[in-house]
Chain A
Amino acid sequence: EDQVTQSPEALRLQEGESSSLNCSYTVSGLRGLFWYRQDPGKGPEFLFTLYSAGEEKEKERLKATLTKKESFLHITAPKPEDSATYLCAVPDPSGSRLTFGEGTQLTVNP
């Protein structure tokens, strides 16, 4: 059974203070790893897809990286509007089902 574990559960940063979120996964065969952002009471908003170890993707202050066992979401010089819960997910072998982690709740204080 696919497993996804995210850490830390919660992270408080000061504006401008860079940090990283971790997503560890155990899957039978990686078919991609997805990062989403979720604001309170809203649906997951797609950020990145990574398919192979060594791959990196960037969007504004966010950069996602992937190794064979984990993925990191690096946040550089975050702003208060980056406050959200960040979710990672992996598809099952059929691609039908995403297994999500518990998420990291990020708070960026001004």
Chain B
Amino acid sequence: EPEVTQTPSHQVTQMGQEVILRCVPISNHLYFYWYRQILGQKVEFLVSFYNNEISEKSEIFDDQFSVERPDGSNFTLKIRSTKLEDSAMYFCASSRDRSTDTQYFGPGTRLTVL
């Protein structure tokens, strides 16, 4: 069964450093998403991406964040200058359609900012 994959599973970085989190969505899916979950809190939407551009972004997704689909399979989230409060699990998701289709989530990347 196709699944969303994410790398790395755990990333440790120093405050102020740039990180890139990588995702491979399900191959025939057209819509891609990033969510985050701070420890003990609920899953929060960051951004959605379709046709090589951002469809929607939350107030969390400020200028420090960017997304890219560098090739036909990868989808990345970049945090330019990490802060302590960026420490969280980051989940990539994908769906075939946007309006009512199911979003399938990857296993997550645990980002720890020291």
Contact = CB atoms under 8 A, between A and B. Distances in A.
Contacts of B43: 44, 87, 89, 98, 100
B59 to A, nearest CB: 12
A28 interface: no
A94 B102 contact: no
Contacts, number: 67
Interface of A: 31-32, 34, 36, 41-46, 49, 51, 87, 89, 91-92, 94-103
Given A31-B100, A95-B98, A95-B100, 10 more contacts: A34-B102, A36-B105, A43-B91, A44-B105, A46-B103, A51-B100, A94-B55, A97-B45, A97-B58, A98-B45
CB-based closest 8 A-B pairs: A95-B99, A96-B48, A43-B105, A96-B56, A95-B98, A100-B43, A97-B45, A44-B105
Interface of B: 4, 6, 31, 33, 35, 41-45, 48, 55-56, 58, 89, 91, 97-108, 110
